[in-house]
A and B are shown apart, each in its own frame.
Chain A
Amino acid sequence: MKATDKQAYLEEYELLKKKGKPFFPYAVMKDSAMALIVVGVIILMSLLLGAEQGPKADPTTTTYVPRPEWYFFFLFEVLRVIKPPELVPIATIGIPTVCMVLLLLLPFYDRGPERRPERRPLATTAGILTILAMGYLTYAGATAGSPTEIDMKVAPQYKAGAEIVAGSGCLACHKLGENGNNGPGPELTHIGDRIPRAAIIRSIEIGPSIMPSFRELPKEKLNQLADFLSSLN
């Protein structure tokens, strides 16, 4: 912004201010009305949605799938879609840091005198795209099953079993197709080829070597789980 533009803005602003109304009571009235709406909404949400406590924190559980608060879903989603380990730091720290620096320094690189959004096509487009991207990522993060979701094609009769694998924390130690950690447990991608169904059930119930036992799984779920795993070949 050139010095003449700055001067012109200040003059125009002074004129607008002269034609304006005093902060008190006009702006104060609007602000107070808005404040009432805000506190009303918060009270309503508290009454309708409550503040239920989940089960007590248990560091020994392996089956819990962490979910962040909804306003971190976008971050969660970025992390979910970027899988290769060498790219993870870019997703977790790189992208958010770059976005924050860009946001912080906005007035220092966008220095044009124009303020009307329709005459700032670049800024307005960038702003709308950012909102759409954040909205999409938040939505995708909200609807995603979990970061341990299984991306492979699963036949409908094995869907239930696949969900149990995803929800029980198996992928923390086992690799399954594109998902999960490779180790310390053996890869499960072709487990049905290597071990018979009965042996799979036994492993899940006993938990050989360092694997925890999943004995507390209901019989029905255990069967679905075994059906799914033994179908992998």
Chain B
Amino acid sequence: MPKLSDLLVPAPLRKTPKPGEAGVPTTPAPQDLKSAPPERPTDLGRTGEKALEAPMEATAWIDQRLAASGFLTGMLFRKVPKGTNWFYTLGSATLFAFIVQAVTGVFLAMFYTPSATQAYSSIAHINNDVFLGQFVHGMHKWGASVMVILIFLHMGRTFFFGAYKYPRELNWVIGVVLLILTMTMAFTGYLLPFDQRSYWASIVGININGTGPIVGPYLSDFLRAGPELGATTLSRFYAIHMLLVPGAIIALIGAHLYLVVKLGTTAPPWTKTGKPRVAEPTSDLDAGVSGNGYHPNGAGATVAGVRVDGHNGGGATA
């Protein structure tokens, strides 16, 4: 039976098995199929065959120029450690909630006017006239809550599993900055509908900033952009909400994910390696004997100790 991953991944992106690895046929099957005489060599059949090959060729063409398949296979086929469970989907779920916010936000921006006189009526227009307007508006509004909840769950998992410890300290710091930026998004987005609730809550929020020591008054002056909350405040919040913070969030998510791929995700702290904890470097052969032998004739069976495996997208190296 072919592997699930082989059915889903286009050929140029498939992980090339090492010679001698289990499951590698002695003769490459695709070439056999090509050289075999077609049953009905009609023009139609050949066109169909060409059409089937086109995406493969296009992928190969692009890859020749980008040389990205090495990175992609490394990323796709990197091993996630034993014991990885549903708790480990919270990070990607947060990312997905962010994507929902980004997409719905783009559609809202097509109809929203960031002016003190028109903001309220443009939201009313979105809610009442635009096709699926209130639905998308609702997704954006409630998606914010979902994203905040997911961030806290993701952070809780990272905290209780001790996943912020060596060598992933920097990724924790990036994550906390992302949390702060998300709260900034929540605060600045709250004003945009410009109804009573958003207006007065923003005044309170700005005044709270103003009570801070030393920088407080400057911060509240910056946020208010004038003596009173009004048109300039709204456009300032709009720019922060639409350009400044999303840009920073996207950049930091990129860094966060880069480190996740680079360092690997953690295993739950209770996961047994299948062998007693020893400080000496051990070989894979030992692991195959005493453990449950995931790789009965694994390619790295004779390679001693910890190494960086290129095919696994790089390991955590000291």
**Using a CB–CB distance below 8 Å, which chain A residues touch chain B?**
1, 4-28, 30-31, 33-35, 37-39, 41-43, 45-47, 49-59, 61, 64-72, 75, 79, 88-89, 92-94, 97, 100, 103-104, 106-108, 110-117, 120, 123-124, 127, 131
CA distance A103 to B146 in the complex (A): 21
B306 with A10: CB separation less than 8 A: yes
Given A18-B294, A20-B84, A89-B212, A107:B173 Cβ within 8 A: yes
CA distance A182 to B81 in the complex (A): 62
Task: Determine chain B's interface SS by DSSP, over half rule.
Answer: helix
CA distance A46 to B143 in the complex (A): 8
Binding-face segment, B44-52, B241-249, B268-276: B268-276
Task: Give the nearest-CB partner of A58 in chain B.
Answer: B196
Residues of A within 8 A of B124 (CB): 53
B93 with A38: CB separation less than 8 A: yes
Q: Does B77 reach chain A (CB closer than 8 Å)?
A: yes
- The 6 tightest CB contacts between A and B, nearest first, are A46-B138, A115-B162, A57-B199, A66-B200, A93-B212, A107-B169
B196 with A35: CB separation less than 8 A: no
Cross-chain contact of A11 among B78, B216, B274, B306 (Cβ < 8 A): B306
Task: Give the nearest-CB partner of B85 in chain A.
Answer: A30
Shortest distance between the CB of A51 and any CB in chain B (Å):
4
Binding-face segment, B19-27, B53-61, B186-194, B250-258: B186-194
Shortest distance between the CB of A9 and any CB in chain B (Å):
7
Cross-chain contact of B82 among A19, A49, A57 (Cβ < 8 A): A19
B216 with A115: CB separation less than 8 A: no
A79 with B84: CB separation less than 8 A: no
Q: What per-residue 1/0 map shows which CB atoms of B162-194 lie under 8 Å from chain A?
A: 111111110011001101100100110010011
Shortest distance between the CB of A188 and any CB in chain B (Å):
23
A16 with B267: CB separation less than 8 A: yes
B97 with A25: CB separation less than 8 A: no
A42 with B142: CB separation less than 8 A: yes
Residues of B within 8 A of A12 (CB): 273, 277
